[in-house]
Structure 1
Amino acid sequence: MTTTSDATLPVLGAALTLDHLPGLLDWVMEHDRDLELQDFVDVALLTGDTSPTVARYRDLLAGHKGRIGIHGPFWDLPIAASDPDIRAVVQSRFLQALDGGEALGATHMVIHSPFTNWSHHNMPADRDGRSRIIDCAHKTLAPVVARAEAIGCTLVIENIEDREPDDRIALARSFDSDQVRVSLDTGHAHYAHVSTGGRPVDYHVRAAGSLLAHVHVQDVDGYADRHWAPGDGTIRWAPVFREIAKSCENPRLILELLDPNDIPRGAQHLVDLGVAI
C-alpha cells in the first residue's frame, strides 16, 4: 500500500506480455500498477483467437485495480498512408486490437506517430506537407477513433522518429476527441535530441501539457533505441519527472524495457531518486 510520505509520488507501471507478467505479478499487484499489455502487436494473435490470451490475463490480474492498456500493432502499419488499400489494412488491424482491448477492459492503446526527421526538414518546403499527413491520418483513423470512443479507450500517439513534439500534438488535437491524446517515449525523444538536434525530453513533456496521457519510460545513450532500465543511459530523470508533475495530471508511466526482468531494477533507480514509487 502507498504510505502517507509517498502518496504524492506517481506510481510506475510496466509494459509486459503474458510471458513476463507471472514473474513480475507481485511487483505489479503491490501498488496496483498500471499495465500495458503488448501481445496485441502480434498480427498472428489479432487474426486468430484472442480469447485464450484475454482469459489468461483476466485470471492473472484478478483483483488488480490499476489501469490496463494495450500497445496497438505497428509493424508495417503506417497511420498516414496515402494508398486507400493500405489504410484499409491498418484500420482492420487497429480495430482487431481494440476488440481485444475491449475484452480486457483496456482504456488506452498506443499507436505510432507518422512524423519523421525527414518530414521535419522537408515539410516547410512543401506547403501542403503537414496538412496532407494529418488528412491521411484522419482517413485512416476515423473508424478507429469512433470505435475507441464507443468503448472508452484512449488512443495515445507515440513519438517514434519525431524530431519535435509539435506536429504530433497538432495531430492529436485535430481529432477534437477526448479519446485521442499524446504519448511520450522518453528514449525516442532523447535519441532525437542527441542524434538529430531535437528538444530534450522535459521539453516534450512541457509542450504536450495536459494532452500527455501516457509515457514509455526507458533510458538510452542517445545513439539508438536501447530500451534500457532507467539509470543505464544518459536521460536526466529528475527534471523529466518534475516537468511531468507540473504539466500533466496522472499520466500512465509505463516502463517499457528491452529485458522486462530489468523493470524492478529500473523502477528502483527512480524510487531512489525520489521521483516515483
Structure 2
Amino acid sequence: MGKIYISQLFPEERVNKILNKYDIGLEIIEFGIGYTLDKDDNGIVEYYKRNGELIKNRPLSIHGPFLDLNTASFDNMIKQATLTRYNQAYSVAKRLGADRIVFHSCYYDDVYFKDVYINNSLEFWNEFLIDKDESINIHIENMYDKDLLVLKELVDKINSNIISICLDIGHANCYSNQSLEEIIKLLGSRIGHLHLNNNDGKKDSHRGLNSGNIEVIETLELIDKYCNNPSMTIEVSDFKEAEESISIIMKRNNK
C-alpha cells in the first residue's frame, strides 16, 4: 500500500497524539470549509501557529471544500464559486507542501442525467486544471454516487496524469448500488487514494475498520489485486477506533 494518512476528525490534541506516535501523514479537513478559507492568507497563518512543528516534513493531504459547491452546476455563479474555493484549496496545498487534495464528485443522479453531469463536470475540471502542475495529486471522491461507472467515465475523459479517484468505501457501502468488489474491479488503477472506515450500510458513520459490515481486509486484498498501490486515509471519527484502525493497517503492511 501507498502512504497512510489520518483524517482530522477528532479534537486537535488527539490528532497530535496519533501523529507523535505513528509515522503517518495527516489529511487536513479545516481548509474544506469556506469560513477558514476566508481568513487571512486562507487560514494558513493561524494553522501554522497551532501545528507548524507537527506537520513539518510530514506527508499532508488536503480535503477540499465541499459544502454548497457543485462542479456540475448549470449556474455560472455557483460554478465560479466552486472554482474559487477549489483554487484556494489548491493554493493552500501548495503552500503547506501537501502532496494531494481530495474533492467530492458532486454527482446526484436524481438531479442530473449522466451525460449532463459528465459534460458539465468535464468543462469545470478542464478549466480548473489549466494552470496546475504535477506536484499535487488530485482525487475525485465518490459521495452519493450510486453507479461508479459515471465517475470512471468522467476521469477517463478528463485524462490527466494528476487526476484519479478517491474510493471512499464507507460512502460506497451506504450509497452505491454496486458491491465493493464490483467497484474495485471496475475502477482498477483509476483508484489513486482510499478513504477507509466502516459502517452498517445505512449511515455514513465513520466507524473503525472492525466496526461495521464491510470486510475491510478482504476489500484491501481486492485493492492489492486490481489497483496500483493507492495511498489511504483512515477516516474514522472515534479516537480509540482510529488508533485500532491504524494498528490493523500497520500490521497488515508489515506482513
TM-score (norm 1): 0.82
1:140-219 matches, cutoff 5 A: 140-147=124-131, 149-150=132-133, 152-193=135-176, 198-219=177-198
Structure 2 counterpart of 1:34, from 7, 21, 25: 25
Cross-structure match for 2:18: 24
Q: How many residues align?
A: 250
Give the superposed CA RMSD: 2.3
Unaligned stretches of 5+ in structure 2? Answer: none
1:1-277 mapped onto 2 (5 Å cutoff)? 12-16=4-8, 19=12, 20-29=14-23, 33-49=24-40, 50-52=43-45, 53-54=47-48, 56-64=50-58, 67-118=59-110, 129-147=113-131, 149-150=132-133, 152-193=135-176, 198-270=177-249, 274=252
* Contact 1:221/1:233 (8 A) holds in 2: yes
Code of the aligned partner of 1:167: V
Q: Distance in 2 between matches of 1:223 and 1:204?
A: 18
One-letter code aligned to 2:53? D
User: What do residues 22-58 of structure 1 show as CA deviations (whole Å, max 9, x unaligned)?
Assistant: 12122332xxx23311111121111112232146444
Offset of 1:269 from its aligned partner? 4.0
The 1:55–1:83 alpha-carbon spacing in structure 2 relative to 1, beyond 3 Å, is same
Q: Relative to structure 1, is the Cα distance of residues 205 and 27 closer, same or farther in structure 2, using a 3 angstrom cutoff?
A: farther
Q: Which letter maps to 1:143?
A: E
CA positional deviation for 1:275:
6.0
Q: Deviations over 1:92-115 (max 9, x none)?
A: 011111111101111211111132
Q: Deviations over 1:132-177 (max 9, x none)?
A: 2122113333332234x32622221111111121100111111111
| Cα distance in 1, alignment partners of residues 18 and 167 from structure 2 | 24
Percent identity at matched positions? Answer: 22
C-alpha distance in 2, partners of 1:116/1:93? 20
Instruction: Supply the AA of the counterpart residue of 1:155.
Output: I
Q: 1:275 to 1:165 in 2, by over 3 A?
A: farther
How many Å apart are 1:21 and its aligned residue? 2.9
Amino acid at match of 2:190: L
Does structure 2 conserve the Cα–Cα contact (< 8 Å) formed by 1:34 and 1:252? no
Any gaps of 5 or more consecutive residues in structure 1? 1-8, 124-128
The secondary structure found in structure 1 opposite 2:62 is strand
For residues 134 and 97 of structure 2, the distance between their equivalents in structure 1, rounded to whole angstroms, comes to: 9
